Amino acid sequence: MKNKLKMLFGFLQMLFFFVASMSLSYWLISLLHVKAAPFIIFLLTLFLGLSIMFTTAMIIHFFSKKKQLHVYLEIIAALRKISNGDFSVKLATPDTTRSEFRSIIEQFNDMTSNLQQMETMRQEFISNVSHEIQTPLTSIKGFAQVLRAADLSEESRLHYLNIIEVESHRLSKLSDNLLKLTSLESEQHPFEKTTYRLDQQLQDCLLATEPAWSNKEIELDLQLEKMTIYADKDLMSQVFINIIHNATKFTPNNGKIVIHNFRNANEEIVIHITDNGSGISSSELPYVFERFYKADASRNHTLGGNGLGLSIAKKIIELHDGVIHVTSTPHVATTFEVRFHIKKGAQIAGD
């Protein structure tokens, strides 16, 4: 509809231009008092009118082409800046909304904004990785130097060796998580869906994390329905283990974790994992699934973790066409919710 209106408007413009040129031609012929046969007068009027149209069109084209050339040069200059790594460049949008370059310039500015955002994320990623690697390396180097002391007691020596072992494990885990996240984001990660019992998987994930929650004497409330799901079992296990580890980490001694799966009114499989730990503030909730983000970073450092677990979980859920999000009331409860639409690779089966 919009294109048809533009075509109609263009036709009316040309018609107006033609009538105006012919009228001016007729007026000039009348002004010159040309005496000739009516047919000759008609031909002269037509020729003069077309000449006026052609000359006016050439003048308009000349000035518009000059303006177009200026825009071309601006775009080329901006592209050179981008090729040199400057993604902050922006082009001025033409004042007239009818400019044929307006859409191109707006798309160009959107592209540079996205490139700038990606560059900022890249720099932040490198900074975060460097920080996460440097911290354990500093500990390993420092304690390795201390171990050279001849007068060191056996107890101290074992203590320092234990720290080196812990920091080495932390580096290894960081490396594994980075590789997994990179593989998932490139969508080249092996993806093997099978049908299996979701409720049994949740129980298995709890058993895998038992040392963490049993040491803190955390109460577990399992509200599990018998249910099958069609998904990559290994990847989904990592999702639930990451969430349970996260819940255990921030739940106090003698706290409580509730795990509930059910089918909602929208034909979705839903899993809730709720803890009554310290919670997450509303200002931090939007960033929970970002790489290396750690809510309450000063305290999180003492609890371990590298801020990649929930990023990996989110990517795995997205690969399953699912949704994961978190709600939290500080010092009351935090709930991670995972949802899968049954028609997109999930099935319910009551045994």
pLDDT digits (tens, 9 = 90+) for 290-328: 877 765 544 344 445 557 888 888 989 998 889 999 999
Of 307, 316, 1, 309, nearest to 128 by C-alpha is 307
In the block, tokens 């996240």 appear at 181
Per DSSP, 343 falls in state G
Query: The tokens of 109 are what?
Result: 């500015």
Of 91, 114, 113, nearest to 103 by C-alpha is 91
- C-alpha count within 13 angstroms, C-beta hemisphere, residue 23: 6
Strands 256-263 and 219-223: parallel
Per DSSP, 191 falls in state -
The answer to whether the Cα torsion of 313, 315, 321, 326 is positive or negative is: positive
**Range in 76-90, 97-111, 133-147 the model is least confident about:** 97-111
Confidence (pLDDT) at 255: 92
In the block, tokens 């999000």 appear at 325
Cα separation of 318 and 320, whole Å? 5
Q: Whole-model pTM?
A: 0.60
